[in-house]
Homo-oligomer: A and B are copies of this chain.
């Protein structure tokens, strides 16, 4: 999973994978069938784990859960390589329906997690707000990849959120 995360699907070779897993080629193929099959499993694993973490962030946030979630999303564990699912959607979704499907589910889970912690004072806007928060956080991933300093991104996010939640 980590190798795919770092390099993407196409740029990851069988040698990269077997080396990282400490497996011979024959064992690899008898265990996973093909490169793509392992990749899809890695994607699913990443998504499940990521959503679980995000929910934990939402549940254990001290003051502002929306804030904490946006920070977590815009500054994922992978560092500068961003969110594995966004990377894979960008690289593959238009040509690979399976990846697109996993991506859609992931994004919907993010939105839903936002929706749960948004102040339901105006219930008719909760869904759109959740969608806006998601898009905002996801958009900053691109800024970060291009080299914008994390500090400035966090600041922008905070400001935007302040305005959005008013």
Report A's interface with B, CB cutoff 8 A: 8, 10-11, 80-82, 86-87, 89-91, 93-94, 100-101, 103-104, 107, 125, 128-129, 131-132, 134-140, 142-143, 145-148, 152, 155-157, 159-160, 163-164, 166
* Cα distance A76–B68 in the bound complex, in angstroms: 31
Copies of the chain in the assembly: 2
| A interface majority secondary structure | helix
The answer to whether A145 touches B93, judged by C-beta atoms less than 8 angstroms apart, is yes
Q: Please name all residues of chain B whose beta carbon is closer than 8 Å to the beta carbon of A142 when the two chains form the complex.
A: 86, 89-90, 103, 107, 135, 138
CA distance A140 to B90 in the complex (A): 12
Q: Are A94 and B145 closer than 8 Å at their CB atoms? A: yes
Nearest residue in B to A80 (C-beta to C-beta)? Answer: B94
In the bound complex, how far is the Cα of B100 from the Cα of A146, in angstroms?
5
Q: Give chain B residues whose Cβ lies under 8 Å from the Cβ of A101.
A: 147
Q: How far is the CB of A120 from chain B (nearest CB, A)?
A: 15
Distance to closest chain B CB from A109 (angstroms): 12
In the bound assembly, the distance between CA atoms of A100 and B148 in angstroms comes to: 10
> Contacts A131-B156, A135-B136, A142-B89; is A107 near B164 (CB within 8 Å)?
no
